[in-house]
């Protein structure tokens, strides 16, 4: 899918930026593809498999969230010397009550999301669970920003 | 137990991964919620599910799950099969329901891939 | 086998409808997290093993006359779910075990008769 491909890794971007992936809201067909791409791009770099799995899970849930709830968004992958960072930013309705959204089991998903096997209210808590550092901020009516850091050395 | 033995036990068809039937499987995870799989399944397990969309394959890929057993004769789309081929995830397909499939495999000695669930320490201990 | 035996043998925790445990016969099992699947394919008297906690599971179990619901993997049912289950007489049990293990043990019990 054209819009989902890695865009560019230009000189303007920080050196640690490994890739930018664009996501179109409500486009469920290829949901999960960015997680697969991110995983592929982390392999062969000497990063422990267990860390790669955590990043793949975080990316998967972040991707599903954007597809499910936002108009569009991006996921950025950074490889720092001591950590892998995933940033997911979207333009969309935002989250009114972040504490509530983080509560396991809370979900506003519709059937198209549930049919994929998602939407059970576990996504954000999964991201939190697999992150060492997790930040979530949102402006209602504008969008949501999520940053997840997985440290490379414990 | 080998993937080929699982195939025989459940009268399953090998949809993808004829060349990987010698893989040894000792643990299994049964779920239809992919977030549940992403949260709790372990690498190397057999995913037993009633889902047959590409997201199930991508979930398995994210976690290095050894193979997927699709139950209750669920219809498989080309897209599902293509994704499994592309990512190298073996797919077995059975007409048995999840209950029967899990039951038979448990009797043969496969174990669940988690014993207990809770909190954050898991990723540090096991992953 | 009745629900009480199942609960005792597997060490499940019952959340409601204790009065029905002795009289409810378990005739089989069904495992699934997709409500439409359980709605379509489960049969009366089966014990339903799931990771879903949403209150809609009660409606499905009640409609299909399932023996009860076992919620696995330490997930805790929402308050609404328990309230509705008590009202509709659907026993709900919880356990920390994973679905695979619960199904395996229920399957073994049922096949031993």
Spatial CA neighbour of B47 closest among B29, B22, B73, B23: B29
For residue C44, the enclosing domain spans 3-112
The pLDDT value recorded for residue B124 is 32
Determine the distance in angstroms separating the CA of C87 from the nearest CA of chain A, rounded to an integer. 22
For residue range A127-137, list pLDDT tens digits in order.
999 999 999 99
Q: Do B62 and A122 touch (CB under 8 A)?
A: no
Highest-confidence segment of A2-11, A12-21, B25-34: B25-34
For residue range A25-53, list pLDDT tens digits in order.
999 999 999 999 999 999 999 999 999 99
Angle value at C-alpha C13, between C56 and C37, nearest 5 degrees: 30
Are B74 and B53 a contacting pair, CB within 8 Å?
Answer: no
Span A131-152, average pLDDT: 97
Domain layout of chain A by residue ranges: 2-8+15-151
Beta strand A133-139 with A143-151 is antiparallel
Domain layout of chain B by residue ranges: 3-115
Q: Which residues contact A135 (CB under 8 A, 6 or more apart)?
A: A145, A146, A147, A148
The pLDDT value recorded for residue C78 is 85
What average pLDDT does chain C have? 96
List the beta bridge partners of residue B44.
Answer: none
- C53 touching A (Cβ < 8 Å): yes
For residue range C16-63, list pLDDT tens digits in order.
999 999 999 999 999 999 999 999 999 999 999 999 998 999 999 999
The pLDDT value recorded for residue B123 is 35
Percent of chain B exceeding pLDDT 90 equals 88
Q: Do C104 and B106 touch (CB under 8 A)?
A: yes
Q: Do A105 and C33 touch (CB under 8 A)?
A: no
Q: CA A42 to CA A34: how far, in whole Å?
A: 12
Q: What is the number of CB-based contacts under 8 A between chain B and chain C?
A: 97
The pLDDT value recorded for residue B74 is 95
Residue C41: list chain B partners with CB under 8 A.
72, 97
- B55 touching A (Cβ < 8 Å): yes
Domain B3-115 of CATH type 3.40.30.10:
no
Kindly report the length of chain A.
154
Structure tokens at A78: 């950074």
Are A29 and B58 a contacting pair, CB within 8 Å?
Answer: no
* Secondary-structure breakdown of chain B: helix, strand, coil percentages, each rounded to the nearest 5: 40, 20, 40
pTM given for the model: 0.93
The pLDDT value recorded for residue A2 is 44
> At which residue do the structure tokens 């809370």 appear?
A106
The pLDDT value recorded for residue B121 is 35
The ranges of chain B with pLDDT < 70 are: 115-127
Task: Concatenate the DSSP letters of all residues of C41-84 into one string.
Answer: H--TTEEEEES--STHHHHHHHHTT-SEEEE-TT----HHHHHH
Angle value at C-alpha A113, between B85 and A148, nearest 5 degrees: 80
Pick from B32, B100, B114: CB nearest C34: B32
Kindly report the length of chain B.
127
The pLDDT value recorded for residue A111 is 83
Count CB-CB contacts under 10 A for residue B44. 16
Are B38 and A129 a contacting pair, CB within 8 Å?
Answer: no
Q: What is the number of CB-based contacts under 8 A between chain A and chain B?
A: 85
Angle value at C-alpha B76, between B71 and B82, nearest 5 degrees: 125
Structure tokens at A94: 């935002």
State the complex-level ipTM.
0.96
The pLDDT value recorded for residue C93 is 98
The pLDDT value recorded for residue A70 is 97
- B35 touching C (Cβ < 8 Å): no
The pLDDT value recorded for residue B115 is 55
Are A147 and A127 a contacting pair, CB within 8 Å?
Answer: no
Beta strand B27-30 with B46-49 is parallel
Question: Spelled out in words, what is the top-level CATH class assigned to the domain A2-8+15-151?
Answer: alpha beta
Give the number of domains in chain C.
1
Determine the distance in angstroms separating the CA of A81 from the nearest CA of chain B, rounded to an integer. 20
Q: Do B98 and C32 touch (CB under 8 A)?
A: yes
For residue range A63-100, list pLDDT tens digits in order.
999 999 999 999 999 999 999 999 999 999 999 999 99
Instruction: Find the CATH number of the domain harbouring C43.
Output: 3.40.1390.20
Q: pLDDT grade, residue A11 (50/70/90)?
A: low
Q: CA A38 to CA A6: how far, in whole Å?
A: 10
Check the CA dihedral C64-C68-C72-C77 and report its sign. positive
Q: Which residues contact C55 (CB under 8 A, 6 or more apart)?
A: C78, C80, C81, C84
CA atoms within 13 A on the CB side of C24: 25
Query: Helix or strand or coil: residue B39?
Result: helix
Query: Helix or strand or coil: residue A90?
Result: strand
For residue range C72-85, list pLDDT tens digits in order.
999 989 899 999 99
- B50 touching C (Cβ < 8 Å): yes
Q: CA B4 to CA A151: how far, in whole Å?
A: 39
Q: Do B50 and C34 touch (CB under 8 A)?
A: yes
The pLDDT value recorded for residue A10 is 53
């Amino acid at each position: 899918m054209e819009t989902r491909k890695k865009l560019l890794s230009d000189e303007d971007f920080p050196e640690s930026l490994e890739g930018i992936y664009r996501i179109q809201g409500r486009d469920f067909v290829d949901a999960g593809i960015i997680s697969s791409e991110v995983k592929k791009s982390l392999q062969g770099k000497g990063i422990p498999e267990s860390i790669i799995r955590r990043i793949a899970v975080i990316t998967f849930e972040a991707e599903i969230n954007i597809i499910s709830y936002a108009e569009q968004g991006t996921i950025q992958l950074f490889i720092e010397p001591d950590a892998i960072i995933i940033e997911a930013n979207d333009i969309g309705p935002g989250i009114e009550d972040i504490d509530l959204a983080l509560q396991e089991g809370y979900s506003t998903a519709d059937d198209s999301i549930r049919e994929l096997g998602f939407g059970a209210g576990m996504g954000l808590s999964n991201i939190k669970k697999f992150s060492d550092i997790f930040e979530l901020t949102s402006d209602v009516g504008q969008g949501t920003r999520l940053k997840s850091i997985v440290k490379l050395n414990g | 137990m080998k993937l080929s033995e699982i195939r025989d036990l459940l009268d399953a068809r090998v949809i993808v991964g004829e060349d990987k039937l010698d893989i040894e499987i000792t643990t299994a995870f049964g779920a239809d919620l992919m977030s549940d799989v992403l949260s709790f399944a372990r690498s190397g397990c057999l995913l037993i599910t009633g889902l047959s969309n590409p997201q199930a394959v991508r979930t398995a890929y994210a976690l290095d799950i050894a193979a997927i057993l699709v139950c209750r004769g669920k219809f498989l789309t080309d897209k599902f099969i293509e994704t499994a081929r592309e990512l190298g995830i073996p797919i077995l397909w059975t007409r048995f329901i999840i209950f029967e499939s899990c039951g038979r495999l448990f009797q043969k000695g496969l174990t669940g891939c988690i014993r207990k669930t809770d909190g954050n320490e898991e990723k540090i201990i096991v992953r | 086998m009745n629900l009480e035996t199942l609960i005792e043998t597997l060490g499940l925790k019952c959340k409601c409808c204790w009065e029905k445990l002795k009289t409810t016969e378990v005739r089989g099992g069904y495992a699934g997290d997709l409500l439409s699947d359980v709605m379509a394919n489960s049969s009366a008297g089966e014990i339903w093993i799931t990771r879903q906690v949403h209150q809609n599971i009660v409606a499905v179990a009640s409609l299909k006359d399932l023996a009860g619901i076992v919620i696995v993997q330490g997930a805790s049912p929402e308050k609404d779910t328990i309230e509705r289950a008590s009202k509709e007489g659907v026993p709900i049990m919880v356990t920390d075990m994973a679905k695979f293990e619960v199904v395996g043990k229920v399957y073994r019990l049922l096949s031993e008769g």
